[in-house]
Structure 1
Amino acid sequence: MFTAKKRGRLAVLGAVVIGATVALAGCSSSNPLSSGSTSGTSSKSGTIVIGSQQYYSDTIVAEAYAQALENAGFTVKRSFNIGQRNVYLPELASGKIDLIPDYSGNLLQYYDAKTTASSESDIESALPGVLPKGLKVLKAAPATDQDTYTVTKEFSTKNNITSLDQLKDYSGSLTVGANSEFQTRPYGIPGLKSDYGVTASLKAIADSGGPLTVAALKNGQVQLADIYSADPAIKANDFVSLKDPKNMILPQHIIPVADKKVNAKATAVIEKVNAALTQSELISLNSKSVNDKQSAAVIAKAFLKSAGILK
């Protein structure tokens, strides 16, 4: 959701590349659901430039924001599939984009790697104090798209492993398939060692838990994979996401980050969209991308109509 969870999120949860890019987490590869817009160079007065991570689920949410704002009379420019936080957050701070959906816990850890916040309410309280001047967060959605350490059912059953704290007793070597940022993220390779005493190596796979990561897990190239919790690939492949009893991975609710061009009227529109983004709804939206191969524009429009935001 890396950062991706996916999702940093940093920032998270098979499928297919059509049109632009696909994930999958938090954080990446290109997204099949991009509107086809290019990255913005500057945010013109009166136009709200909306960005998205290079992660298909984030693009769906960003497209929903865009359509809802357009419906409310705002002029919108899409600048989707920008990359991960080290790319899109500086663009947000510089005014190249004005709004992007992010993931709460990973966003906080990007600015404060040593944060002690653990609950969603603590995270949302801490974020205003660490964001660059001129940026703000809006109300988070009920839906979360967290990074996970996910294994195959076979690996879980054979080794009696259902939780991260049980990995220390595993006698074999462990490789995690994830974005390259996982090498340094607090909940990535360093966190496994410091929180759970587990030594693992990283196989960098730049698709935010998408089809390449899923394939690497299925064919045994990696034993664990960072697949975002709202990814339908987890259920489709009967994967097991390991429990995290020490809460190493923070909650990663979808949370919009915006600059001052997102005024009170625009904020109300965006927060109405977010209020409709429940966990089951997010999984359904992701499934329409991964399984039904629908575009972000089609998925977002149907979601907004069902939520009563579009007629």
Structure 2
Amino acid sequence: MKRIATAVAAVMLLSACGGDPLAGSGNNEPAPTDTIVVGSANFPESRLLAEIYAEALSAKGVKVSKKLNIGNRELYYKGVQDGSIDLIPEYTGVLLKHINKDATEVGSDEVYAALKKALPQNLVVLDKSAAEDKDAVVVTKQIAAQYSLKSLDDLVPYCKDLAFGGPPEFQNRPDGLSGLKAKYNCEFKEFKSLDVGGPVTVAGLKDNTVQAANLFTTDYAIKANEFVVLEDPKNVFAAQNVLPLINEKKASQQVRDTLNAISRKIDTKTLLDLNQKLAGPDKPEPEKVAKEWLAGAGI
């Protein structure tokens, strides 16, 4: 519990220092017509991808500004809709579910096609990358051994006895707790509101405060702590390919070509490697890692 309290305090401090880029008067005004405002969610991989987009566009002479670390999809998507944010890295499956909670597509190409149809007229997604970062239910190696867990099917008999941890929005998303209940009849003993794939969730698993949790499959903490990702045979979590979501008015051919070139270069191994760098002992800034990757990728 002490580790969780310390991690919570750290997250609160970061939030207090960084603030909410969409909070306060004037921040929801439309982006300038000559500038692409790049946003990100509130977890490291999203911030890194946003920095990659921003740096690449800036190098091509496109004027950019940044509103990073905004928060969850329920918050930042409103900014994309109202035009105060122009561009943000997204994940196909969860974005589709956000727009259409009844979507049934699970495969990569099917999800991508359905997403393009579901978007409002002022928004478009560009080419999807091969990189996939899925939500997952994760347990420690010890819990996996104790209950003989390899998949979510194996977890079902024990859900009622276990505490689950994850970001607050996981409680209400159709591909969150409600999806686990609908597809696996899994209802946990309790839900503990932690963070978005960050130190609080990792600490909760390690302290056994929660016995299962929501993490992202490209999170370096999974490998570092020998956590076990439970297989999802009933596809609560659809394909989640990384791609840019952008205001159609700002998607010039130059912008499209630049962002599509990035998507062609990013695969899942790339994401894993980049997240490992972000989690390194020196804790480099996402902007630095982004610049180094772009130089190496020749973009």
Q: Paired residue for 1:9?
A: none
Give the alignment of 1:125-136 within 5 angstroms: 125-136=113-124
Give the alignment of 1:146-161 within 5 angstroms: 146-161=134-149
Query: Deviation per CA, 1:246-297, whole angstroms, max 9, x where unpaired?
Result: 1111111112110121211101101111211111111111111112401011
Percent identity over paired residues: 36
Secondary structure of the residue that 2:161 maps to in structure 1? coil
1:294 aligns with 2:284: yes
In the alignment, structure 1 segments of 5+ residues that lack a partner are 1-15, 23-27
* Residue in structure 1 matching 2:163, options 162, 175, 180: 175
Secondary structure of the residue that 2:135 maps to in structure 1? coil
Q: Paired residue for 2:62?
A: 74
Q: Paired residue for 1:44?
A: 32
Label 1:29 to 1:186 Cα distance change in 2 as closer, same or farther (>3 A).
Answer: farther
Q: Is the 8 A contact 2:159 2:186 kept in 1?
A: no
Deviation at 1:171, TM superposition (A): 7.5
Q: Paired residue for 1:139?
A: 127
TM superposition score normalised by structure 1: 0.86
1:303 aligns with 2:293: yes
Q: Paired residue for 2:271?
A: 282
Q: Moved runs in structure 1, 4+ residues, more than 6 A? A: none
Aligned residues: CA RMSD: 2.1
Secondary structure of the residue that 2:244 maps to in structure 1? strand
Q: Is the 8 A contact 2:20 2:70 kept in 1?
A: no
Secondary structure of the residue that 2:32 maps to in structure 1? coil
Q: Is the 8 A contact 1:38 1:78 kept in 2?
A: no
Greater CA drift, 82-91 or 212-221 = 82-91
Deviation at 1:228, TM superposition (A): 0.3
Secondary structure of the residue that 2:192 maps to in structure 1? strand
Between the aligned partners of 1:29 and 1:234, the Cα distance in structure 2 is: 24
Label 1:156 to 1:29 Cα distance change in 2 as closer, same or farther (>3 A).
Answer: farther
Q: Paired residue for 2:3?
A: none
Letter in structure 1 aligned against 2:184 = Y
Deviation at 1:135, TM superposition (A): 0.4
Letter in structure 2 aligned against 1:307 = A
Q: Paired residue for 1:123?
A: 111
Label 1:232 to 1:29 Cα distance change in 2 as closer, same or farther (>3 A).
Answer: farther
* Residue in structure 1 matching 2:204, options 194, 216, 240: 216
In the alignment, structure 2 segments of 5+ residues that lack a partner are 1-5
TM superposition score normalised by structure 2: 0.89
Secondary structure of the residue that 2:131 maps to in structure 1? coil
* Residue in structure 1 matching 2:222, options 227, 234, 256: 234
Letter in structure 2 aligned against 1:290 = A
1:99 aligns with 2:92: no
Letter in structure 1 aligned against 2:154 = Q
Question: Size of the alignment, in residue pairs?
Answer: 282
Between the aligned partners of 1:103 and 1:30, the Cα distance in structure 2 is: 25
Q: Paired residue for 2:251?
A: 262
Q: Paired residue for 2:192?
A: 203
Between the aligned partners of 1:194 and 1:160, the Cα distance in structure 2 is: 23
Deviation at 1:110, TM superposition (A): 0.3
Deviation at 1:172, TM superposition (A): 5.8
Secondary structure of the residue that 1:74 maps to in structure 2? coil
Give 1 or 2: higher helix fraction.
2
Secondary structure of the residue that 1:116 maps to in structure 2? coil
Deviation at 1:37, TM superposition (A): 10
Between the aligned partners of 1:108 and 1:272, the Cα distance in structure 2 is: 23
